[in-house]
A and B are shown apart, each in its own frame.
Chain A
Amino acid sequence: MRDDELERLFKLYHTPLVRYLTRRLGDRDWAEEVAQETFLRALRQDAITSERSWLFAVATNLVRDEARKDERRRRHLQLLAAEERERVVEPEGDTLERAQERAMARKAVDALAERDRLALLMREEGLDYNEIAEALGLSVGSIGTTLARARRRLAESYEALQADEARRAGGSHGTH
């Protein structure tokens, strides 16, 4: 692939790809690394027929491969991060609410079946049914059902988490 073609690809798809990966991984840095690697892979390709679905499929694969390889290293970093969190006094307050929302959203997304999750995240980035089907190796006819199920389950689990949180909050207020 020529540089100008890569640049065009980058301009078109970098933002949605990073957003997709960020939602997938929960880490913007990691998402950007994977996105860059994805574009590097594209650079090595002679021709790509379905660009967007190709990019999203490669990025999805990279996430899995890299995570598998780096499991031990990531675990170590996790522990370091936990110690750092312990050391630093974090401000509390409003961000707590947003953090709770984010955590609930993450839990709800994680509760989805892998294929449902990927289909939903890709759809949110504007991939059409054909592209999603191509990226995930599904039939186009099944995408509507997959998305319907994913959306319903996502909303239901999020609502359940919200209800739990409200119950907990109500209980803690009652003790004051």
Chain B
Amino acid sequence: MEHIDEGTIHAWLDGALPPDEGARIEAHVASCAECAAAVAEARGLIAASSRILAALDDVPRGVIPVAVVTGESVTPESVASTSDAQKDSPAPAGAVVASSGDTKPMAPHVSRAAGRASRRPWYRRPQWAAAAGISFLAVTLTAVWQRGGAPGVMDSMSERAASAPAPMVAAEQAASPAASGAAEPTAGVSANSPSSPTQEKAKTSAARRDAASSNEQKALAAPTEARKELASTANRTVQDGAASASGAAGAANAAGASARERDVARAAPVPAAPPPSVAAASADVQARQAPDSLAAKRVNPSAVDAITRSESARVAAEARLQRSSSNLSLEQVVTTGTSSSAARRSPIPVVGALTAKAAAAATMTPSALAGCYRLQPSDVAQGVGIRSLLQLDFAGAGSDEARPAYAARDLAAGNVQSAMARDALRWTLSTDGAVVLVRGEGASARRVTLRIGVPLDSLAAQQLQGTRVPCPER
């Protein structure tokens, strides 16, 4: 028997051959090493192509294709009229070339940069921006020189944040409502139980509502012994949050950071979230009982009074905690946050962020941040995991708060320790992405803002919880 051609092998592996022919090929492959190798190769190709195509599923909504289609409409007749020779020809000029990551120019004769520049208003053009920057710098330097070393923003901040050794952790959800709709992993939707896009969005919204409500419930259920310290910690954090809002951390991240700090209010006494099913069930009950609750507001970032409600809830929780006594160990602090505006705007809707902040006296060291934080997406319905750290923003000592953020790309995968020792913070992510270990390395700083972004496994809008937990033994 002659060797089997590649097309037949693929048809056989795809189960497209009649049983008798399949049996014949199977028998031949068993006795022909060359064909067996071809079959093995074909299996590899099938697996590889499936894997490659699966990478295309990780596409956020709203991605605009780079190139467009101008080809003819396909009908069985038109396709059938195509000659076999054309099968091997490259894709026609009008073929769809849609890509989220591709940056091919739309038109070869017009560069994208040139196009953008021509559409910018005059005040956004680089030369004007540079002139404005120089002018601002000159005025600022003159003012500083004239003041002769008067206390600056950092000094007042450090006074206000007189003694606050405890870090707070805020977790952020990082997607817009639209992005949350994109979050459902396509593969996760069973063909037997599909739902319409509206239904899917409703499911996601409900899950997020449940999660938020669960956090509220946890806070209300906090043991009295644990509340007092949490309250004082929260108070300090709020004070520092106000200071940081005026203190301008990283220029690019200032708005997002202050928004996060306003939301550092939710507290719960458990070192880790309860079993998802229990939390979801209890949260659901609570959400039904109080449809206008904070949880209900929180799931809708566009609610006008979302922040107000969040703040009032925080104040009430703090008051309750202050009435109680005893200590709350740091291991029991759980806080959650909401989406930052920057995250909502981001075309990458899958970035959550964990914010840890230490408001401290002038001699505060980053070691106050040292510890382990369990990162836990509270929306268990999506079953996402945290893959790695994304970036670490760190405001160092003195007045160097405006130092720009930088990306810690070295942390691409789990258990990679940052080599960025210059900022005196090192961190490690556990292999399963669930726990981040942050270690301080002794440099002094008046205020430390640690922002840890965590990309999630799916496009789901997730609310993350950062829970300070005892560090595992090494």
Which residues in A have some Cβ–Cβ distance to B below 8 Å? 10-12, 14-16, 18-19, 22-30, 32, 57, 60-61, 63-65, 67-68, 70-71, 74-75, 77-79, 81-86, 88-118, 120-121, 123-124, 128-129, 134-138, 142-152, 154-155, 158
Contacts and interface: CB of A to CB of B under 8 A. Distances in A.
Given A94-B455, A120-B49, A102 B64 contact: no
Nearest to A31: B59
Contact of A61 (B57, B74, B101, B407): B74
Interface of B: 5-11, 14, 16, 42, 44-46, 48-50, 52-53, 55-66, 68-80, 82, 84, 87-92, 94-102, 106, 112, 115-116, 119-120, 182, 186-187, 189-194, 196-197, 252-253, 342, 345-348, 350-351, 387-391, 407-409, 411-413, 453, 455
Contact of B101 (A75, A100, A129): A100
Given A23-B53, A29-B61, A92-B409, A103 B112 contact: no
A115 B432 CA distance: 41
Contact of B53 (A105, A128, A129): A105
Contacts of A61: 73-75
Nearest to A135: B76
A32 B99 CA distance: 16
Contacts of A25: 65, 96, 98
Contacts of A111: 90-91
B62 A29 contact: yes
B456 to A, nearest CB: 10
Given A32-B197, A64-B71, A158-B48, A136 B57 contact: no
B52 A85 contact: no
Given A27-B63, A91-B391, A147 B75 contact: no
Contact of A115 (B50, B59, B87, B388): B87
Given A88-B345, A109-B56, A136-B76, A94 B390 contact: yes
Contact of B407 (A18, A93, A100, A109): A93
Contacts of B346: 88, 90-91
A22 B52 contact: no
B54 to A, nearest CB: 8
Contacts of A23: 53, 56-57
A138 B87 CA distance: 11
B252 to A, nearest CB: 5
Contact of B6 (A18, A71, A145): A145
Q: When A and B form their complex, which 7 residue pairs have the shortest distance between CB atoms, in order from nearest? A: A103-B101, A137-B76, A145-B7, A67-B69, A144-B11, A137-B79, A26-B98
A100 B62 CA distance: 18
Contacts, number: 292
A85 B347 contact: yes
Nearest to B392: A93
Nearest to B457: A98
Given A124-B50, A136-B76, A93 B412 contact: yes
Given A15-B194, A155-B52, A93 B388 contact: yes
A17 to B, nearest CB: 10
A88 B342 contact: yes
B7 A105 contact: no
16 contacts: A26-B65, A57-B76, A64-B74, A67-B65, A68-B70, A79-B112, A91-B348, A93-B455, A99-B101, A102-B56, A105-B52, A113-B87, A145-B7, A151-B10, A151-B45, A158-B52
A26 B68 CA distance: 12
A28 B48 CA distance: 23
A98 to B, nearest CB: 6
A28 B76 contact: no
A93 B61 contact: no
B52 A109 contact: yes
Given A93-B391, A102-B101, A148 B42 contact: yes
Contacts of B189: 15
Contact of B347 (A22, A26, A88, A137): A88
Contact of A27 (B45, B64, B119): B64
Contacts of A149: 87-88
Contact of A144 (B7, B190, B194): B7
A89 B116 contact: no
Given A22-B186, A90-B347, A114-B71, A74 B64 contact: yes
Nearest to A27: B63
A5 B186 CA distance: 23
A148 B69 contact: no
B91 A71 contact: no
A18 B106 CA distance: 26
A11 B194 contact: yes
